[in-house]
Amino acid sequence: MSVIVERHVVAGQQTHSWEQHSIDGKVHCRRFHFAVSSVSFAFSIMATIKFKALCLHGYRQDGAAMRAKIGGLRKALKKVEWVFLDAANLASTSETATDPSTERSWYNNIDNGTGFAYDSAEEPTGFEASVKAVDDIIAAQGPFDVLISFSQGACFAQLYLAQKAEQGPLPFKAAIFCAGFIAQAPSLLPLASKELSIPSLFIHSENDQIIPAAATIAQSKKFSGSATCLHTGGHGFPSASILKPALVEFSTANGLTA
């Protein structure tokens, strides 16, 4: 198991404004506006965001890959402590892999337990190993405030939270999901169908060609009072200029500030 920990102590600053739209009780943030000023009030708002986050990467990625993907966000949120965890299982190796050990999977569900497909209903292998990896990092480096997850990691994060909800209080104050989806395996459906109550932000792209937006929207409906941040950039986190104002609003609303 590999873990990346990053700590910042210097406060950053940024002005921001954003338009908010509500549909069926959920917040949809579509347009964002930024202006930089070294003495602006909104600069200080960015500096107040403070939480400790556990980050779960996507399929065929690892913690280092996710760290790189949100580099702009890490630089903007300088009071956030980021911990990036590697999934417990190896993924099926891609043709372009230079180091197969960096291609990880939270669980596998095709090709006799060696590959993964988001819409497969085959039974998973390696799921409990990844649950243990998250349990272990919480025990070793917790407590954490926020669970941040991407793609397959977001699918796994939902399952993990559902399992923990059956056992007692959730080990996070809030959760952020990007390009997630609902697991389809029969053995996972009791967890996947569970309604969860935790402040949550769902990020997805209208142009995602890997995980359809409808799949992430369906996942968000399992969480009461969830907010949604839409973007057009494809399968991944949006640019920091889009994501920062959404996180400012989400963090402020849920007490994730200094």
Residues taking part in catalysis? 151, 208, 235
Q: What angle do CA 116, 157, 207 make, to 5 degrees?
A: 65
DSSP 139-164: HHH---SEEEEETHHHHHHHHHHHHH
CA distance 188 to 77: 35
61-83 per-residue burial string, b: 16 or more CB within 10 A, e: under 16? bbbebbbebbeebbebbbbbbbb
| CB-based contact 193:221 (threshold 8 Å) | no
Cα-flanking dihedrals φ and ψ of residue 227, to 5°?
Answer: -110, 155
Cross-strand pairs, 230: 204
For residue 204, give every residue at least 6 positions away whose Cβ sits within 8 Å of its Cβ, in sequence order, or none.
178, 179, 180, 211, 213, 216, 217, 228, 229, 230, 231
